[in-house]
Amino acid sequence: MAADEGSDEEQTDGLIATEAIKLLEEKKNAPFFLAVGFFRPHTPYVAPKKYFDLYSPEKVTLAKEKENDLEDIPEPALFTKPSHWGLNEADRREAQRAYYAVISFMDAQVGKVLDALDRLKLRDNTIVVLWSDHGYNLGQHGQWMKQSLFENSARVPLIISVPGGVKGKASLRTVELIDLYPTLAQLCELTPPADLQGKSLVPLLKNPNATWDKPAYTQVRRGDIMGRSVRTERYRYTEWDEGRQGVELYDHQTDPDEFNNLAKQSSHAATVKELAELLHKGYALKNKS
């Protein structure tokens, strides 16, 4: 991680924002599709110093931790070994500060592109999607980075702006990134292939509380075994090596930090059975296609 003395435009993401704006200016009078991919907040945590100055290490809030938290978690679920890579609290604060700094830097570049949309009067007929390919652990369960099936790394930012659509509303429904293709196709009045696994989010863009029963699936590899997880609005259920290496069940209604693994509790046996069937059914369909 490094606080650079240079300007935004000297960084890769600054160059990307500048090029994206140039393309918007060139294509403003014709239909266009523009995918703008920013590197940050991916490691290394490098950004101009002014973004680091926004945060003081001593004011950084570290992840909540619970004594004996790891005792009910299957061994393959843990990627960061030892916990926190062995970093002391001061180093963890510095790492989080740097992570926040690069997020702010990236956010500023997104803002420049959106400002250009407004300046060019394109906002009223342009669909904008802001998303990330994965989430990130910042010390939860002693874990860092993305390689886990905990909520913090499996859940991603997803914001969709549609001309004439609902503004400033959040939906609590569970969706997947594969839903973006059919969504954009419908919004652009295009006909996508009939066998897509994704489902158009247009009903949720019109009514964030619309009826919705589609779960979300995530997987990660641990050497020769696979970890697979299914998320519904209330639960996250995970199997490692099809359950042979461990099972996890978290109730996000009562335990949003995933501190209590309910998978082995007899009172939740019916829920485990239901979600296991949902998990296996979902991956069977994905493998078939």
Task: For 116-144, write each residue's pLDDT tens digit.
Answer: 999 999 999 999 999 999 999 999 999 99
Q: Are 266 and 183 members of one domain? A: no
Domain limits for position 187? 179-209
Q: Are 121 and 21 members of one domain? A: yes
Number of domains the chain contains: 3
Residue 289's pLDDT is 52
Q: How far is CA 285 from CA 21, 92, 256, 268, in A?
A: 41, 41, 29, 26
Q: Are 101 and 186 members of one domain? A: no
Q: Which residue has the tokens 């099936």?
A: 149
Q: What CA–CA distance (Å, rounded) separates 133 from 147?
A: 12
Q: Are 204 and 219 members of one domain? A: no
Please answer whether residues 228 and 279 qualify as being in contact, where contact means their C-beta atoms are separated by less than 8 angstroms: yes
* pLDDT band for position 288 (cuts 50, 70, 90): low
- Any idea what the CATH number is for the domain that residue 285 is in? 3.30.1120.10
Q: Are 155 and 220 members of one domain? A: no
* pLDDT band for position 3 (cuts 50, 70, 90): confident
Q: Are 267 and 124 members of one domain? A: no
Q: Are 19 and 136 members of one domain? A: yes
The strand order across the sheet containing 235-240 reads 216-222, 225-231, 235-240, 247-251
Q: Are 183 and 66 members of one domain? A: no
pLDDT tens-place string over residues 159-204? 999 998 888 899 999 999 999 999 999 999 999 999 999 999 999 9
pLDDT tens-place string over residues 26-67? 999 999 999 999 999 999 999 999 999 999 999 999 999 999
- Any idea what the CATH number is for the domain that residue 18 is in? 3.40.720.10
Q: Are 205 and 223 members of one domain? A: no
Please answer whether residues 136 and 146 qualify as being in contact, where contact means their C-beta atoms are separated by less than 8 angstroms: yes
Q: Are 24 and 132 members of one domain? A: yes
* pLDDT band for position 88 (cuts 50, 70, 90): very high
Q: Are 60 and 129 members of one domain? A: yes
Burial of 144 from C-beta contacts in 10 A (0-12 / 13-18 / 19+): buried
* pLDDT band for position 15 (cuts 50, 70, 90): very high
Q: Are 92 and 201 members of one domain? A: no
Instruction: Point out the domain boundary residue: 171, 190, 225.
Output: 171
Give the number of other Cβ atoms within 10 Å of residue 264's Cβ.
Answer: 13
Residue 203's pLDDT is 96
The pTM score is 0.92
Query: Mean pLDDT for the chain?
Result: 95
pLDDT tens-place string over residues 260-282? 999 999 999 999 999 999 999 98
Tokens of 159: 């914001």
